[in-house]
């Protein structure tokens, strides 16, 4: 820790005590020594505080290393880098801003003659901007508009005038340092595992949004196709639910809407056994809604179904697909089926390369009304609680169905996070940061696809394991006899105790907490996990499920567990933090310290 400034300097102490005879300037020796000692001290302080959250007390000490004139620029840049990696929440960012920005320290650091220090200061600015605290507004520079390099160039101030020879030499050294830092940048391989629909790709998408600063309108528009398909799938499922529960279990005022829905989505062969709704329709005497059935077939405008792809067969002529559309779609598919290596970086999930016309919707107004009213009545009357567990319904899109059905609909970021595309190849996404580069491998969660996971098991730094909390009452699509949460626990157990992962840490994400919160009061957790005794308390229930997972950790791997929130800035920080921690731990293990 830096001493208080009132302490007498080494030089004056020596001179005072040797007033007679020769004295020499100890500063020449002492200053580099002091710098070295402070550097070590700062490094140790960083290590000791790695697991302690940022507080006023430790931030104060970190900042003293930045403000103190006897700390070297190497120490300053180390502290700045560390602080930039420590900002995990808005609270951290706020605290850093109030200490570092408002004391004008950041401006001083940005004006430092040392490039590494200026770079470190830019990293802090980036973090503050990520948490919507644009520190550089003070400087009149919008950090989102300028790259780090540009900002460095802007702030470049020669401390002294260099001769041409000096400049050439300094440029060569600088290039060498940059090359070295690239070479020694840590690379981490992170696998995202879990059952299908457990939220793996959503987390990757969430990281992309947070890391890359969101999507522009064009990128968002590209998700329309996926969302329309999700809506059609779910409306089809809604029709199946209505067939299963029977019209009589729904309130009378939605019967008319039911007719519209069932006519637009006629029963397929597989639904015959379940279907009793149509028979009921004929026996119910109230005539008003029966007449609606005749008109409904022409109510669906075939042109509106341009994006009804493959699996949704609503008995509507698919001619609106043009040859060009078909060609583009086939090309997109062939890239994916090329295998996982060629799929790297080249295919972005959920993005359809076909440019979309501006004014298309997928549902007619009558169908939109029908979906809204039937879904609301199912939710309000709770008639389908028992049956909903058997179906996969994307209720989020129903709650926004009027907005989605509007012409010129452009998905927002929340829509993008809810968009569902099954991952059908192993996909790699790379996140590059100054000192760490993460290669994230997103896989398919379906049972029969899991054998392919092994391709990317070797030397994984961390695993992100996703498990949906709301799965506790659901069954597997692949085998309807199996409960999804039980299956997820079995899968977790086999992953965490595998010989492949002795040096791997596990980041356990419990996802879909919003659905869990809604479901818990209606469907008791105890029904599926009889040992649970906490009732419908969200905290107790989530903790219980976490406990179930932790019981499986026989190999005693480091497990970092989190409740994943929608578009949570923290997610990215948490993942990066856990990955770095694992790299450091493994390095300590290798050196015999741990």
- Give the residues lining the site for ligand GTP (CB under 6 A): 194, 196-202, 394, 396, 417-418, 420, 422-423, 444-445, 466, 511-512, 514-515, 564, 566
Is the Cβ–Cβ distance between 241 and 367 less than 8 Å?
no
514 binds, among Mg ion, ligand GTP, none (CB under 5 to 8 A by kind): ligand GTP
Question: Is residue 446 a known part of a binding site?
Answer: yes
How far are the Cα atoms of 468, 471, 489, 542, 545 from residue 512, in angstroms, in the given order? Answer: 5, 9, 16, 11, 13
The distance of closest approach from Cβ of residue 472 to ligand GTP in the complex, given in angstroms and rounded to an integer, is 14
CA distance 375 to 371: 6
582 binds, among Mg ion, ligand GTP, none (CB under 5 to 8 A by kind): none
Token representation of residue 132: 């919507």
Q: Residues binding Mg ion: what is the number (CB under 5 A)?
A: 3
The distance of closest approach from Cβ of residue 475 to ligand GTP in the complex, given in angstroms and rounded to an integer, is 16
Question: Is residue 198 a known part of a binding site?
Answer: yes
CA distance 322 to 303: 12
The distance of closest approach from Cβ of residue 223 to ligand GTP in the complex, given in angstroms and rounded to an integer, is 11
CA of residue 58 relative to chain centroid, distance: 29
194 binds, among ligand GTP, Mg ion, none (CB under 5 to 8 A by kind): ligand GTP
Is the Cβ–Cβ distance between 209 and 571 less than 8 Å?
no
CA distance 58 to 78: 15
391-400: b or e for each residue (b if 16 or more CB lie within 10 Å)?
eebbebbbeb
* Number of CB atoms found within 10 A of residue 343's CB: 18
The distance of closest approach from Cβ of residue 245 to ligand GTP in the complex, given in angstroms and rounded to an integer, is 23
Q: Please, which of residues 288-327 interact with Mg ion by CB under 5 A?
A: none
Question: Is residue 115 a known part of a binding site?
Answer: no
Residue nearest to ligand GTP (CB): 445
Q: Select 249 or 424, whichever has its Cβ closest to Mg ion.
A: 424
Task: Write out 8-66 in H/E/C secondary structure.
Answer: CCHHHHHHHHCCCCCCCCCHHHHHHHHHHHHHHHHHHHHHHCCCCCCCHHHHHHHHHHH
CA distance 202 to 514: 14
566 binds, among ligand GTP, Mg ion, none (CB under 5 to 8 A by kind): ligand GTP
278-301: b or e for each residue (b if 16 or more CB lie within 10 Å)?
eebbeeeeeeebeebbeebeeebe
Q: Select 223 or 305, whichever has its Cβ closest to ligand GTP.
A: 223
Q: Select 349 or 548, whichever has its Cβ closest to ligand GTP.
A: 349
Q: Select 179 or 478, whichever has its Cβ closest to ligand GTP.
A: 478
404 binds, among ligand GTP, Mg ion, none (CB under 5 to 8 A by kind): none
CA distance 46 to 52: 10
Stretch that binds Mg ion, among 122-130, 196-204, 288-296, 570-578 (CB under 5 A): 196-204
Q: Select 107 or 515, whichever has its Cβ closest to ligand GTP.
A: 515
Question: Is residue 201 a known part of a binding site?
Answer: yes
Q: Select 118 or 418, whichever has its Cβ closest to ligand GTP.
A: 418
Q: Select 71 or 198, whichever has its Cβ closest to ligand GTP.
A: 198
Q: Which residues pair with 437 in a beta bridge?
A: 187, 432
Q: Select 299 or 566, whichever has its Cβ closest to ligand GTP.
A: 566
Token representation of residue 271: 């639904």
Q: What is the CA radius of gyration of the chain?
A: 30
Stretch that binds Mg ion, among 66-74, 81-89, 193-201, 301-309 (CB under 5 A): 193-201
* 230: contact with Mg ion by CB under 5 A: no
197 binds, among ligand GTP, Mg ion, none (CB under 5 to 8 A by kind): ligand GTP
Q: Which residues pair with 192 in a beta bridge?
A: 442, 464
Stretch that binds Mg ion, among 80-88, 197-205, 238-246, 286-294 (CB under 5 A): 197-205
Task: Write out 119-132 in H/E/C secondary structure.
Answer: HHHHHHHHHHHHCC
Token representation of residue 85: 């990696």
Using CA atoms in the order 320, 322, 327, 329, what is the torsion angle rounded to 10 degrees? -30
The distance of closest approach from Cβ of residue 103 to ligand GTP in the complex, given in angstroms and rounded to an integer, is 39
Question: Is residue 6 a known part of a binding site?
Answer: no
Question: Is residue 423 a known part of a binding site?
Answer: yes
Instruction: Name the nearest CA neighbour of 3 among 49, 71, 90, 54.
Output: 71
Is the Cβ–Cβ distance between 210 and 461 less than 8 Å?
no
The distance of closest approach from Cβ of residue 198 to ligand GTP in the complex, given in angstroms and rounded to an integer, is 4
The distance of closest approach from Cβ of residue 210 to ligand GTP in the complex, given in angstroms and rounded to an integer, is 15
CA distance 571 to 210: 9
Among 49, 75, 112, 201, binds Mg ion (CB under 5 A): 201
Q: Select 216 or 310, whichever has its Cβ closest to Mg ion.
A: 310
Question: Is residue 226 a known part of a binding site?
Answer: no
198 binds, among ligand GTP, Mg ion, none (CB under 5 to 8 A by kind): ligand GTP
Q: For the chain, how many helices (H) and strands (E)? A: 26, 6
420 binds, among ligand GTP, Mg ion, none (CB under 5 to 8 A by kind): ligand GTP
The distance of closest approach from Cβ of residue 424 to Mg ion in the complex, given in angstroms and rounded to an integer, is 9
The distance of closest approach from Cβ of residue 1 to Mg ion in the complex, given in angstroms and rounded to an integer, is 48
* 423: contact with Mg ion by CB under 5 A: yes
Stretch that binds Mg ion, among 172-180, 225-233, 251-259, 418-426 (CB under 5 A): 418-426
Q: Select 446 or 483, whichever has its Cβ closest to Mg ion.
A: 446
- What is the binding site for Mg ion (CB under 5 A)? 200-201, 423
Cite the annotated binding site for Mg(2+) by residue number: 201, 423
Cite the annotated binding site by residue number: 197-202, 417-423, 442-446
């Amino acid at each position: 820790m830096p001493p208080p400034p009132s302490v007498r300097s080494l030089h004056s102490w020596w001179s005072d005590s040797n007033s007679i005879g020769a004295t020499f300037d100890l500063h020449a020796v002492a200053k580099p020594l002091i710098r070295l000692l402070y550097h070590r001290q700062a490094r140790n302080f960083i290590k000791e505080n790695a697991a302690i959250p940022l507080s006023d007390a430790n931030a104060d000490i970190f900042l003293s290393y930045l403000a103190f004139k006897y700390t070297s620029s190497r120490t300053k840049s180390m502290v700045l880098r560390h602080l930039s990696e420590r900002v995990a929440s808005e609270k951290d960012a706020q605290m850093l801003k109030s200490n570092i920005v408002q004391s004008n320290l950041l401006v001083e650091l940005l004006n430092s003659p040392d490039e590494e220090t200026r770079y470190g200061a830019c990293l802090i600015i980036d973090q503050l901007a990520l948490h919507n605290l644009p520190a550089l507004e003070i400087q009149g520079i919008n950090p989102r508009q300028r790259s780090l390099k540009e900002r460095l160039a802007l702030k470049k101030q020669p401390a002294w005038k260099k001769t041409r020879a000096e400049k050439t030499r300094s440029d060569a050294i600088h290039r060498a340092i940059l090359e070295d830092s690239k070479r020694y940048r840590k690379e981490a391989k992170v696998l995202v595992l879990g059952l299908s629909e457990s939220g793996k790709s959503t987390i990757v998408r969430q990281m992309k949004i947070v890391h890359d600063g969101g999507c522009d309108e064009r990128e968002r528009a590209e998700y329309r196709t996926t969302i329309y398909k999700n809506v059609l799938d779910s409306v089809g499922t809604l029709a199946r639910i209505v067939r299963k529960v029977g019209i009589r279990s729904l309130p009378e005022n939605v019967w008319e809407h039911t007719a519209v829905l069932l006519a637009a989505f006629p029963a397929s062969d597989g639904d015959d056994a379940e279907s009793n709704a149509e028979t009921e329709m004929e026996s119910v005497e109230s005539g008003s809604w029966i007449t609606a059935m005749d008109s409904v077939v022409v109510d669906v405008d075939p042109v509106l179904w341009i994006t009804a792809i493959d699996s949704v067969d609503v008995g509507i002529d698919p001619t609106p697909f043009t040859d060009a559309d078909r060609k583009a779609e086939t090309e997109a598919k062939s890239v994916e089926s090329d295998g996982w290596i060629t799929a790297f970086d080249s295919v972005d999930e959920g993005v359809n390369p076909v440019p979309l016309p501006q004014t298309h919707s997928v549902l007619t107004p009558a169908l939109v009304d029908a979906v809204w009213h039937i879904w609301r009545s199912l939710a309000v009357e709770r008639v389908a609680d028992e049956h909903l567990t058997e179906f996969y319904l994307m209720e989020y899109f129903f709650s926004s169905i009027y907005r989605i059905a509007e012409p010129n609909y452009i998905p927002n970021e929340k829509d993008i996070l809810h968009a569902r595309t099954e991952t059908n190849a192993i996909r790699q996404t790379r996140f590059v940061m100054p000192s760490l580069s993460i290669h994230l491998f997103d896989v398919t969660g379906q049972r029969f696809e899991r054998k392919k996971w092994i391709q990317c098991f070797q030397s994984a730094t961390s695993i992100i394991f996703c498990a949906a909390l709301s799965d506790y009452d659901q069954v597997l699509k692949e085998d309807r006899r199996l409960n999804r949460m039980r299956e997820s626990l079995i899968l977790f157990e086999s992953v965490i105790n595998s010989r492949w992962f002795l040096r791997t840490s596990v980041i356990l994400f419990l996802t879909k907490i919003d659905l869990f919160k809604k479901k818990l009061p209606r469907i008791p957790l105890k029904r599926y996990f009889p040992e649970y005794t906490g009732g419908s308390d969200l905290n107790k229930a989530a903790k219980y499920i976490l406990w179930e997972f932790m019981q499986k950790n026989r190999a005693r791997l480091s497990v970092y567990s989190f409740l994943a929130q929608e578009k949570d800035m923290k997610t990215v920080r948490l993942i990066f933090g856990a990955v770095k921690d694992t790299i450091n731990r493994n390095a300590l293990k290798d050196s015999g310290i741990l």
